[in-house]
Amino acid sequence: MLIAFNKPFGVLSQFTDKGLAGSKRPTLSNYIDQAGVYPAGRLDRDSEGLLLLTDDGKLQARIADPKHKMEKTYWAQVEGVPDDEALESFRKGLMLNDGPTRPAGIQRMDPPEALWERDPPIRYRKSVPDCWLEVRLREGKNRQVRRMTAAIGHPTLRLIRYSIGEWSLEGLAPGEWREASL
């Protein structure tokens, strides 16, 4: 079984909250009632979008393990508007504190159509413009997109994973899931 889930902002990518005692952060169990499925990879609590879950360990490894180089596409709303030089440095790969990143795809994009409102909304500043970027990666360092946009001088305000390989969140509202084809 393979499940495509549109993870809302603030939801943990696990079925239980092993955080602070008494913590009541929302988890996957608030949305998905299928037994025996587990996330194929992670998506930070403050990121939104596609999370795949499966009951097939081999498929889980193929999706999540960076050695398989499955492309992931993200939509990142960033502070400011990166110039062509910043985008080119991103494409070539950047040096982060844990080492270099692989080359990555990036391009400016129009705001995504039919994008849902985030709860809570992002912080807007009248004096600082923002823009949307489409980012394509084939690796998965911790908080990589956020760290890469910050490294080119454009911190991420909102991050949505749109697709993993052939699977996308097309047609899924936040908190909704569906069985996906293998």
55 is catalytic: no
C-alpha atoms less than 13 angstroms from C-alpha of 144 in its C-beta half-sphere: 26
Catalytic residue (choose from 17, 44, 56, 130): 44
CA 167-173-174 angle, to 5 degrees, is 95
For residue 159, which of 43, 52, 81 has the smallest C-alpha distance?
Answer: 43
> Measured between alpha carbons, how far is 59 from 4 in angstroms, rounded to an integer?
13
> Measured between alpha carbons, how far is 93 from 66 in angstroms, rounded to an integer?
16
Q: φ, ψ for residue 46 (rounded to 5)?
A: -95, 15
- Residues serving a catalytic function are 44
